[in-house]
């Protein structure tokens, strides 16, 4: 169920794929989602049709290695789970894509079970159907 958007600079499909694997494995490990619960939108920005902007906010020096990870999921994860998730995303983004952890930016937006239809026009998390 988490829907993940990953935006990075450049147009290297291999790097986007590595980032996608890093985020997915981190979610499997720390949130306990199934391995086939992977829904990602990956975008590389090459400057011709868009780009990213970033600053050194909080004293963290970011550069063109910046990666934005935006996760939409149901509410209910604990603060500890989210913190473990952030830590593991940063670790695996480094391991798989060579991304420096200072460049890994993650934000989470939560919604409710009724807010998901994962195919067939059905709200699968709500039973019985209203």
Question: Per rule CB under 8 A, is residue 64 in the interface with a copy of itself?
Answer: no
Q: Which residues lie below 8 Å from residue 56, measured CB to CB, with a gap of 6+?
A: 62
Task: State how far the Cα of 87 lies from the Cα of 114, in Å rounded to an integer.
Answer: 29
Shortest reach from residue 112's CB to a copy of itself, in Å: 8
Interface residues for a copy of itself in 71-110 (CB under 8 A)?
Answer: 72, 78-80, 82-83, 86-91, 101-110
- In the complex with a copy of itself, which residue's Cβ is closer, 98 or 114? 114
Chain centroid, CA 52 distance in Å:
16
Site string for a copy of itself, 31-60 (x = CB under 8 A): ---xxxxxxxxxxxxxxxxxxxxxxxxx-x
Question: Per rule CB under 8 A, is residue 63 in the interface with a copy of itself?
Answer: no
Check whether the bond before 30 is cis (ω within 30° of 0).
no
Name the residue among 111, 35, 21, 19 with its Cα closest to residue 68.
Answer: 19
Shortest reach from residue 32's CB to a copy of itself, in Å: 13
Question: Per rule CB under 8 A, is residue 120 in the interface with a copy of itself?
Answer: yes
Question: Per rule CB under 8 A, is residue 28 in the interface with a copy of itself?
Answer: no
- In the complex with a copy of itself, which residue's Cβ is closer, 32 or 122? 122
Among left, alpha and beta (phi > 0; psi -120 to 50; other), residue 46 is: alpha
Question: Per rule CB under 8 A, is residue 121 in the interface with a copy of itself?
Answer: yes
Task: State how far the Cα of 12 lies from the Cα of 115, in Å rounded to an integer.
Answer: 33
């Amino acid at each position: 169920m988490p829907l993940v958007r990953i935006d990075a600079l450049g147009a290297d499909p291999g790097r986007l794929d590595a980032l996608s694997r890093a985020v997915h494995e981190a979610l499997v490990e720390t949130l306990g989602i199934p391995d086939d619960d992977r829904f990602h939108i990956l975008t590389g920005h090459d400057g011709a049709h868009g780009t990213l902007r970033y600053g050194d906010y909080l004293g963290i020096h970011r550069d063109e290695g910046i990666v934005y990870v935006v996760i939409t999921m149901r509410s209910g994860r604990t603060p500890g789970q989210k913190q473990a998730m952030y830590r593991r995303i940063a670790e695996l983004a480094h391991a798989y894509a060579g991304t420096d952890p200072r460049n890994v930016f993650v934000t989470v937006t939560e919604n409710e079970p009724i807010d998901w239809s994962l195919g067939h026009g059905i709200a699968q998390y709500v039973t019985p159907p209203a």
